[in-house]
Structure 1
Amino acid sequence: MCRILIFGGTTEGRLLSEYCHQQKKKVWVSVATGYGKMVLPESPYLFVHETPMNEEEMEGFIRRNKITLVFDATHPYAAVVSKNIASSCEKTGTRRIRVIRESLTSVEDLGAGDHVVWVDSVEEAVKYLEEETGNILVTTGSKELVRFTRLDSFEERVYARVLPTVGVISACEEIGIKGKRLIGMQGPFSQELNEAMIRQYDIRYLVTKEAGSAGGFQEKINATEACQIKAVVVGRPVVESGMTLTEAKEFLSEYEAEEEEEDDKKSPSEAFGIRNVSLIGIGMGGPEQMTGQAVKALKESQVVFGAERMLKSIGDLIPGVNLIPWYLSHDILPWLNEHKEYKKIAILYSGDTGFYSGAKKMIEAFQTETKENQYEIEVLPGISSVSYLCARLSTGWEDARLISLHGRDGDVARELLKFHKVFALLDGTNTVNQVCGRLIEEGFGHVSLSVGERLSYPDERITTGTPETLKDGSFDVLSAIWIER
C-alpha cells in the first residue's frame, strides 16, 4: 500500500525517492513544479503530486490517502512550507520526520575565512552589496532575485544562475535580468565550473545560501577562495533537528518492510479491495450544478478524471486531489491497473450522465474488466441542459423530442413535423444559423425559437425569437435550442 509521503523538490527528496524506486517501495512524492517531477525517475513505485499545496491542502491530501508517515525533505530555507507540513501532520496525527541537510559552517569547512562575508538574510546581502562595486553572481534562486534589482546598475552588474525552466526564465526577464546575465543551469556545480563562470563574467561577489553539501555549497566557497573574490553567505534561518538522508533511508527501509510483509500475505484483490468509481454529471458549469451526493463523492476521491475544462471548474472544491485530463476508457483503465492504490475514483461528464453522455460506454468498459480488478460503479446524475434551459424558460419538457446534433446527424425540421416541442444540442457544423435556414425552408420561419448559450456560466445568454429574426445572429457553436410550434 502507499501510505508514505515525501515532500521533496530538493536533492535529498530526489535521492530518497530514488532509494524507494530501487527498493521497490511505494511512496507519494510531492513536488511544487513540473521540473521537480522531471528529475525523478520514471517508476511504478513513485506516485507524484506536482503542484504546490498550502496547509489545508496538505491536511486533506494526508487524510484522503491515509498517509501514516511524512518525510519533510524540503529546502532548508523553505521555512513556511516546513511549518505547514508540521501543522498538517499534527492535525492528522501523522508521524513527521524532517530530513536535514548537514551544515558546513565550521572554520575547517570554509577554509581561510577572510573571503567569506556572513549575513542573516538576502535583504542584508543586498545592503552589503550597495556599498561595494563590481559584478555579482547570485546563486540563491529566482524567488528573491527581485531584491537585487535595487542595486545601482543592476542590469550591468548582476548575473543570476537559476533553474532552466520556462517559468523561471520568464520571471527573471520580467524583472530586468536577461540575456547573457541570465544563466539557466541545474546544479549542483563543481568547483571548476564555478571558477570558470567567475572568470568568464569577471565576478567580484558570489551570493549563496549556506545550504549544505547537497547544494554544492563547499564547491562555491572553494571557488571564491581560488579566484580571490568575496563569498556573501546567507546563513540558515533556524537550527533544525531531524534525520540525515542516510538515517532516513534506514528508517524507511525498516518501516515499510513491516507494511510489505502484511501486504504479501494478501491476494491482489484482498490487498486493494473493491475500488469505487463514481461517474459524475457536473451539469453545465461548476460545483453549483452538481448534487450534494456528487460533491460528497468528489471530496472523497483520490483521483479525478475528466476534460481539462471540467477539472478546472471543480479544482477549488477538491484541493490536493490528483486531477488527470483524460475521459476515454482506453486511457483511464490502463492507468488504474498500474496504480491500484487508488480506491476512490471519479470520472466527470458534462450535463447529465443519462443524456447523450459518455458514461454509458465507460460503464461497459469497466464491466469487461477481469475479476482481479474489481470495481463498484456508481452513477451520479447532474443537471441536464434541457432541464436547465426549460426551467429558465418556465416551461416543461415532458412532451418534447430531445435530440443531439453534437457530432451527430439529424434534422430539426423533420422532428418538428412530428412533435410540437423539440430540444437540440448543436455544434460547429449544426449551428443556430444552419438550423434557422432549414426551419425556414420547411415553412417554420415563425415558430418560437430560444437559444441558450454558456448556460449556468456568468456570461450566460438566452435569446428568444423566430428563425426569421435569429437567422443572421451570432451564437456560440455549442448552443442548446428549444423550439415550440
Structure 2
Amino acid sequence: MEHKIIVVGIGPGSKDYILPIALKKIAAAKILVGSERALADYAADGQKTAPITADIQAAIAFIREESQQEDVVVMVSGDPGYYSLLAALRNEFDISRLEVIPGVSSMQVAFSRIALPWQNADLMSLHGRLPDYASLAYEKGRVVGILTDAEHNSQRIAMLFLDAGWPPNTPVFVGEKLSYPDENMVQTNLIRATAEPAIRHCIMVVTG
C-alpha cells in the first residue's frame, strides 16, 4: 500500500512562525524528513528520520521506500509552494499521494517588515540560479523581491539592477536572519548597496 507524503512548511526559521497544523503533523509522524536543522528542532524520540542534503535523490529514495509502509512527513523551510522540495516530489510521485501544509515564507516576512503589499510584486530567486537579465528590466513603480545566495549577494544584485537601467537612488531593503532574534533589516539604495558590506542568503526588495 502506498501512503501519503505530507509536505509541511515550517516557516522562515523561528518556531513562532510555524502553523499549529504543521506542528500536529510533525508530532504525529512516524517517518520524518527534513534538513539537519529542522530535524534538530522538531524530531522526537521514536521517529525514524532522514536528512535532506545536497543529494536530493537520496532523500527521494528514502521517501519512496518508507512511504510503502507509513505516511512520511517532509519538512521544508518557508512555504512548500515557493522554491522547495515540493517541485521534485511532484515529478516523482502521483499528486494524489501528496498532502501539502502551507507555511510562512521568508519573502512574506520581508514584505511584512516594510509594510508593503506584495500582490503586485515580481518575485524571483537567484539562489543557485543565473539571472534572466530580461526579467531585471526597469519599470517605474515596479517592485521586485529576490532570494539570494553567497554568489548573488546584496552587492552583486545591486550591480545587476544598475546594469539593467534602474536609477541609482532606487530604494532597496535587505533582510537577513528573518524571524530570528538577530534579524537584520537594512534600508539603502542601489548605488549604496554596491559599496556596503555584502549580505548573503538574504531577501532583497527593490522598489522602483
Report the TM-score when normalising by structure 2. Answer: 0.86
Identity %: 24
User: Cα–Cα, structure 1 residues 398 and 382, in superposed 2: closer, same or farther, change >3 Å?
Assistant: same
| Corresponding letter in the other structure for 1:281 | G
- Give unmatched runs, 5+ long, in structure 2: none
| Corresponding letter in the other structure for 1:481 | M
Q: How does 1:56-455 map to 2 (within 5 A)?
A: 269=1, 274-315=2-43, 318-326=44-52, 330-336=57-63, 338-339=65-66, 342-367=69-94, 376-410=97-131, 414-418=135-139, 420-441=142-163, 442-455=165-178
Q: Which has the higher contact order (CA 8 A, sep 6+)?
A: 2
Deviation string for 1:35-57 (max 9, x for gaps)? xxxxxxxxxxxxxxxxxxxxxxx
Q: What SS is found at the alignment partner of 1:406? A: coil
| Residue 333 of structure 1: how far off its partner (Å) | 4.5
Q: What SS is found at the alignment partner of 1:445? A: coil
| Corresponding letter in the other structure for 1:471 | T
User: Cα–Cα, structure 1 residues 483 and 333, in superposed 2: closer, same or farther, change >3 Å?
Assistant: closer
- Give unmatched runs, 5+ long, in structure 1: 1-268, 369-374
Q: Does 1:483 align with 2:206?
A: yes
Say which of 170, 188, 192 aligns to 1:469: 192
Deviation string for 1:206-244 (max 9, x for gaps)? xxxxxxxxxxxxxxxxxxxxxxxxxxxxxxxxxxxxxxx
Deviation string for 1:337-391 (max 9, x for gaps)? 55468523111111111112220221221229xxxxxx73211111012211111
Q: What SS is found at the alignment partner of 2:169? A: coil
User: Cα–Cα, structure 1 residues 433 and 332, in superposed 2: closer, same or farther, change >3 Å?
Assistant: closer
Task: Write the distance in 1 (CA, Å) between the matches of 2:6 and 2:33.
Answer: 10
User: Cα–Cα, structure 1 residues 438 and 394, in superposed 2: closer, same or farther, change >3 Å?
Assistant: same
Matched length? 205
Q: Are the counterparts in 1 of residues 7 and 73 from structure 2 also a CA contact under 8 Å?
A: yes
Task: Write the distance in 1 (CA, Å) between the matches of 2:106 and 2:137.
Answer: 19
Task: Write the distance in 2 (CA, Å) between the matches of 1:283 and 1:340.
Answer: 24
Task: Write the distance in 1 (CA, Å) between the matches of 2:10 and 2:197.
Answer: 27
Q: Are the counterparts in 1 of residues 155 and 193 from structure 2 also a CA contact under 8 Å?
A: yes
Aligned alpha-carbon RMSD (Å): 2.5
Partner of 1:146: none
Deviation string for 1:381-408 (max 9, x for gaps)? 1101221111111110011101111111
Task: Write the distance in 2 (CA, Å) between the matches of 1:334 and 1:357.
Answer: 17
Task: Write the distance in 1 (CA, Å) between the matches of 2:144 and 2:16.
Answer: 27
| Corresponding letter in the other structure for 1:278 | I
Larger Rg: 1 or 2? 1
User: Cα–Cα, structure 1 residues 413 and 422, in superposed 2: closer, same or farther, change >3 Å?
Assistant: farther
User: Cα–Cα, structure 1 residues 443 and 297, in superposed 2: closer, same or farther, change >3 Å?
Assistant: closer
Q: What SS is found at the alignment partner of 1:275? A: coil
Report the TM-score when normalising by structure 1. Answer: 0.39
Q: What SS is found at the alignment partner of 2:4? A: strand
User: Cα–Cα, structure 1 residues 437 and 413, in superposed 2: closer, same or farther, change >3 Å?
Assistant: farther
User: Cα–Cα, structure 1 residues 337 and 347, in superposed 2: closer, same or farther, change >3 Å?
Assistant: closer
User: Cα–Cα, structure 1 residues 445 and 462, in superposed 2: closer, same or farther, change >3 Å?
Assistant: same
Q: Are the counterparts in 2 of residues 448 and 464 from structure 1 also a CA contact under 8 Å?
A: yes
Task: Write the distance in 1 (CA, Å) between the matches of 2:100 and 2:147.
Answer: 22
Task: Write the distance in 2 (CA, Å) between the matches of 1:386 and 1:303.
Answer: 29
Q: What SS is found at the alignment partner of 1:409? A: coil
Q: Are the counterparts in 2 of residues 413 and 439 from structure 1 also a CA contact under 8 Å?
A: no
| Corresponding letter in the other structure for 1:367 | D
Task: Write the distance in 2 (CA, Å) between the matches of 1:455 and 1:406.
Answer: 16
User: Cα–Cα, structure 1 residues 446 and 380, in superposed 2: closer, same or farther, change >3 Å?
Assistant: same
Partner of 1:207: none
| Residue 411 of structure 1: how far off its partner (Å) | 5.1
User: Cα–Cα, structure 1 residues 416 and 448, in superposed 2: closer, same or farther, change >3 Å?
Assistant: farther
| Residue 443 of structure 1: how far off its partner (Å) | 4.3
User: Cα–Cα, structure 1 residues 448 and 347, in superposed 2: closer, same or farther, change >3 Å?
Assistant: same
Structure with higher helix content? 1
Q: Are the counterparts in 1 of residues 50 and 62 from structure 2 also a CA contact under 8 Å?
A: no
Task: Write the distance in 2 (CA, Å) between the matches of 1:333 and 1:443.
Answer: 42
